[in-house]
């Protein structure tokens, strides 16, 4: 996929391109409807697939009226457990690193609502939809397990993606016994479901034992290997095309049953097959943020210093697999305490398996932690900001690895100054606006780790002085195509409009995983290194050519800038890329690179993005209605490649935090296990009218250890401070401490 600069005028710069607020390369394509998403593909002879899904949470399918469905004039085939062709990989066997057990009609068991129980393939979407309705499934129903009273507790081998379920530093009980004050409370966070604008979809086309998949995908190389395993073909025989994603949030890095079934149907019928999940069908087979029940115990001494921090999380998972939200781990890296214990339990329910969802673990865990820290500050009679400043860890607890503590302190200071925190009264219910609404101010600390995934890239300098750079990355709307092209342009000494950027297809060098807020750092470093490799190869041509003004400069070195190589220390001696290639008789020079984090750097330093979020809310004193009216976030995330895109990502994270705090939850019928609001009418997420005044401060930070570019992630950190900040502001407005999310009117009217 070629993504040219999509703007009428590109300001030509000389020197560095990173750090400039360029508009999105793909912006015009998206707003004019010319961006091609997976389901926009219509190959010749294409059939349409629709999944028939279960309406019960637990039991078995006893009958399907397959003959009625196949009698529909547009229906071509119906896949059921009785006729589903075999797969080369057992779907009940997990496939590392992100493999989950999936439902692909391997039997008649039903394990959650919206589980695929058949696949109908037809000439039109309407015929496939009608055929699925004609199946009229009958069930043998078993009681649904929907909560702690009916679910099954389970031991855990790991939480999240491979983290230990229990981590301890120091003696918790001794720390609590020594405390002058102990704050103890329970916190509940709801299940939340991926509601990206683009649903999960695939258009599958087979050519012999090769398959082309048009699909939204966050991890193309990993997915090619996984699909190859399911279908018994080499990984190089799988081509994934994913130039545009309408949101992903973590769910599109993981294989799911409906897509596998559609690919299987295409091979079986020897025709292209398209499947796109309906909005309701996304509430089940494609992961979600799990329900958590959390307990925190915080001990403090007479000076307000922590003596113990105990965070226990009971997290929902499915009956047949396990992904445990690593919520308690939010308490491990941030606050200094001689004793810290983070531990998790699993609760098996009749639900689809949860999975990574934007800021997995940190979002749910920090929501509870930041409210608990506010409660502890209140118990000590301290301002919440002063309490956090007194307890921020200078080194990572348990490891001793140094933090970028100066950066967080600057986030606290800059955010508080912009927000006006110094004018905040300590006691609640002390502020009202001109309309008599209660006004409250709250804050929360934001923290998110900085992963780095192995990645590869290729950079080609061409005879006309322009460049082509390539990596199989993913842009879910965060602006990756723009930021990555800026990094490559900088390494090549070119302007962004002189760089053609290709990505979004799996036969390019592996761009790693677009997840964990690590894509820009991972793919960006690979592109940077590939650009430097191309420049080094070009420099060798020039410095070894007696006809070049750069001849003999090999030991001194050259500098790439504005499409020319300059002799280091002698700016007058230079030559353009085009001149060097022309004299060498070369059409191009190609640089390649692989990039990964140096293990010694990860072992020696704690690597996190930092931030602080300050929130203002207004509450109707009679009706209990809450309105978030102002959010100010200050964030330090290393070197900023494109401040326009970064600020947009911070805004998005803060808006999701608002959604978490005040609106978003999946409501489950406790009798049937059905999600009652599986649509965008009743599953509430913020619209423009809900979004308050937003301000994101980009705090300068130079972190030479996180990676050679100094780049950190920005996509998820905005959530982690915002949820607690809003909840704490609600307490400050009303005097009612709410410990479950989303915050409800009845919680305030009834006094908590």
Q: Report, as residue numbers or ranges, the catalytic residues.
A: 716
* Six-digit token string for 143: 């009681």
What's 723-743 look like in SS3? HHHHHHHHHHHHCCCCCECCC
What distance in Å separates the CA atoms of residue 717 and residue 516, rounded to the nearest whole number? 10
Residue 91's SS3 state is coil
Chain centroid to CA 236: 27
H or E segment to which residue 261 belongs: helix 257-269
What distance in Å separates the CA atoms of residue 737 and residue 680, rounded to the nearest whole number? 29
Burial of 689 (0-12, 13-18, 19+ CB in 10 A): exposed
What distance in Å separates the CA atoms of residue 167 and residue 156, rounded to the nearest whole number? 13
Residue partners of 62: CB distance under 8 A and separation at least 6? 108, 138, 139, 140
DSSP structure string for 156-190: -S-BTTTB-SEEEES-HHHHHHT-SEEEEEEEEE-
DSSP 392: B
Cis amide bond preceding 97, omega within 30: yes
What distance in Å separates the CA atoms of residue 709 and residue 294, rounded to the nearest whole number? 38
Query: How far is residue 119 from each of residues 46, 286, 455, 711, measured CA to CA in Å?
Result: 16, 16, 36, 44
Q: Where are the beta strands (DSSP E) in 562-672?
A: 564-567, 570-576, 588-595, 608-619, 626-636
What distance in Å separates the CA atoms of residue 394 and residue 106, rounded to the nearest whole number? 52
H or E segment to which residue 695 belongs: strand 693-698
What distance in Å separates the CA atoms of residue 151 and residue 348, rounded to the nearest whole number? 5
DSSP structure string for 604-624: HS--EEEEEEEEEEEE-TTT-
Cis amide bond preceding 639, omega within 30: no
Residue 59's SS3 state is strand
Query: How far is residue 216 from each of residues 2, 198, 228, measured CA to CA in Å?
Result: 17, 8, 17
What distance in Å separates the CA atoms of residue 674 and residue 144, rounded to the nearest whole number? 9
* Six-digit token string for 582: 């022309």
Residue 439's SS3 state is strand
What distance in Å separates the CA atoms of residue 616 and residue 73, rounded to the nearest whole number? 59
What distance in Å separates the CA atoms of residue 663 and residue 58, rounded to the nearest whole number? 29
State the alpha helices, DSSP H only, in 296-453: 362-380, 384-391, 405-419
DSSP 517: T
Total Cβ atoms within 10 A of residue 378: 21
DSSP structure string for 541-569: HHHT-TTSTTTT-TTT-EEEETTEEEETT
């Amino acid at each position: 996929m070629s993504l040219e600069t999509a703007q009428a005028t590109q300001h030509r710069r000389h020197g560095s391109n990173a750090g400039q607020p360029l508009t999105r390369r793909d912006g015009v394509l998206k707003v004019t409807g010319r961006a091609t998403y997976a389901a926009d593909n219509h190959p010749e002879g294409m059939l349409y697939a629709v999944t028939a899904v279960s309406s019960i949470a637990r039991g078995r399918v006893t009958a399907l009226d397959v003959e009625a469905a196949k009698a529909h004039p547009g229906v071509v085939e119906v896949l059921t457990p009785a006729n589903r062709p075999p797969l080369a990989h057992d779907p009940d066997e997990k496939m590392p690193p992100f493999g989950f057990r999936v439902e692909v009609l391997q039997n008649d068991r039903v394990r959650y609502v919206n589980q695929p129980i058949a696949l109908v393939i037809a000439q039109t979407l309407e015929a496939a939809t009608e055929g699925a309705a004609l199946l009229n499934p009958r069930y043998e129903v078993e009681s649904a397990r929907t909560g702690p009273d009916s679910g099954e507790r389970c031991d855990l081998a790991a939480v999240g993606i491979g983290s230990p379920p229990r981590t301890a530093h120091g003696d918790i009980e001794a720390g609590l016994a020594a405390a002058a004050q102990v704050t103890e409370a329970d916190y509940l966070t709801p299940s939340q479901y991926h509601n990206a604008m683009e649903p999960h979809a695939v258009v599958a086309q087979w050519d012999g034992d090769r398959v082309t998949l048009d699909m939204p995908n966050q991890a193309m190389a990993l997915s090619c290997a996984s699909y190859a395993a399911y279908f018994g073909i080499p990984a190089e025989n799988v081509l994934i095309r994913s130039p545009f994603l309408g949101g992903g949030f973590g769910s599109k890095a993981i294989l799911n049953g409906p897509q596998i079934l559609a690919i299987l149907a295409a091979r079986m019928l020897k025709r292209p097959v398209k499947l796109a999940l309906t909005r309701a069908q996304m509430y089940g087979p494609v992961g979600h943020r799990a329900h958590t029940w959390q307990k925190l115990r915080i001990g403090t001494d007479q000076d307000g210093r922590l003596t113990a921090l105990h965070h226990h999380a009971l997290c929902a998972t499915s009956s047949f697999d396990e992904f445990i939200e690593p919520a308690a781990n939010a308490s491990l890296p941030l606050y200094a305490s001689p004793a810290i214990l983070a531990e998790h339990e699993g609760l098996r329910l009749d639900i689809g398996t949860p999975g990574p969802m934007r800021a997995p673990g940190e979002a749910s865990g920090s929501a509870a932690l930041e409210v608990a820290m506010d409660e502890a500050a209140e118990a000590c009679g301290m301002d919440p900001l002063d309490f956090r400043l007194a307890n921020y860890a200078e080194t990572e607890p348990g490891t001793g690895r140094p933090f970028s503590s100066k950066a967080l302190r600057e986030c606290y200071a800059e955010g508080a100054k912009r927000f006006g925190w110094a004018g905040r009264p300590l006691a609640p219910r002390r502020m009202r606006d001109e309309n008599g609404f209660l006004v409250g101010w709250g804050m929360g600390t934001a923290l998110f780790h900085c992963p780095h995934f192995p990645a590869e890239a290729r950079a080609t300098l061409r005879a006309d002085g322009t460049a082509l750079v390539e990596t199989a990355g993913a842009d879910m709307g965060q602006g990756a195509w723009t930021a990555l092209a800026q990094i490559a342009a900088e390494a090549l000494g070119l302007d962004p409009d002189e760089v053609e950027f290709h990505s979004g297809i799996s036969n390019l060098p592996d761009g790693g995983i677009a997840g964990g807020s690590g894509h820009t750092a991972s793919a960006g470093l690979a592109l940077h290194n590939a650009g430097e490799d191309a420049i080094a190869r070009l420099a060798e041509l020039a410095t070894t050519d007696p006809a070049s003004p750069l001849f003999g400069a090999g030991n001194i070195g050259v500098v790439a800038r504005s499409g020319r190589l300059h002799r280091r220390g002698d700016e007058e001696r230079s030559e353009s890329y085009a001149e060097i290639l022309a004299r060498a008789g070369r059409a191009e020079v190609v640089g390649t690179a692989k990039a990964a984090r140096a293990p010694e750097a990860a072992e020696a330093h704690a690597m996190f993005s930092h931030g602080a979020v300050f929130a203002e809310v207004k509450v109707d004193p009679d009706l209990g209605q809450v309105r978030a009216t102002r959010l100010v976030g200050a964030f330090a995330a290393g070197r900023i490649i494109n401040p326009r895109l970064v600020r947009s990502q911070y805004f998005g994270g803060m808006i999701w935090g608002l959604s978490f705090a005040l609106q978003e939850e999946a409501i489950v019928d406790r009798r049937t296990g059905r999600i009652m609001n599986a649509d965008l009418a009743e599953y509430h997420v913020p619209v423009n009218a809900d979004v308050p005044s937003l301000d994101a401060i980009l705090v300068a930070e130079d972190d030479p250890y996180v990676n050679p570019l100094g780049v950190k992630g920005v996509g998820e950190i905005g959530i982690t401070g915002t949820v607690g900040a809003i909840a704490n502001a609600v307490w400050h407005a009303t005097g009612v401490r709410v410990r479950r999310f989303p915050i409800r009117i009845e919680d305030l009217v009834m006094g908590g």
